[in-house]
Amino acid sequence: MKQDNIILDKSFAFAVKVVKLYKHLCDDKKEYVLSKQLLRSGTSIGANINEAQAAQSTNDFIAKLSIASKEARESQYWIKLLIETDYLSLSNGNTQVLQNEINEIVKLLTSIIKTTQERNKK
């Protein structure tokens, strides 16, 4: 269960950063389309992980975490696109932190899903 708390905390902290980044991109860069996509996917990760905590079965738990994983991968895509279109800069430490955090979330979700699937087979 401790792993679940780690992923809950990390996904929430990531969502907070995404909301703040969204505000910055809208207010300072006047970018509304890509940032909105990142806002949706980036905040959806934690919401799905939270839903998984109340899953009705192991399969339901896996399904909800799988959705969170897809949203995390989508967030990776939007961050990469914002970097490549010069809305975000890799020389900015905040951008690097954001990338590191989403990569870690993807790895954690993948690990939790695989471990749960293995246990479910037994």
The predicted-structure confidence for 23-41, as pLDDT tens digits, reads as follows: 999 999 999 999 999 999 9
Alpha carbon distance 85, 79 (integer Å): 10
Alpha carbon distance 4, 109 (integer Å): 9
At residue 3, the pLDDT reads: 46
Task: Please state the separation of Cα 28 from the chain's center in Å.
Answer: 23
For the chain, the helix, strand and coil percentages under 3-state DSSP, each to the nearest 5: 85, 0, 15
The predicted-structure confidence for 48-104, as pLDDT tens digits, reads as follows: 999 999 999 999 999 999 999 999 999 999 999 999 999 999 999 999 999 999 999
Delineate the domains of the chain, giving CATH numbers in brackets.
2-121 (1.20.1440.60)
Neighbours of 7 (CB within 10 A): 21
Alpha carbon distance 50, 65 (integer Å): 9
Of 58, 75, 57, 69, nearest to 18 by C-alpha is 75
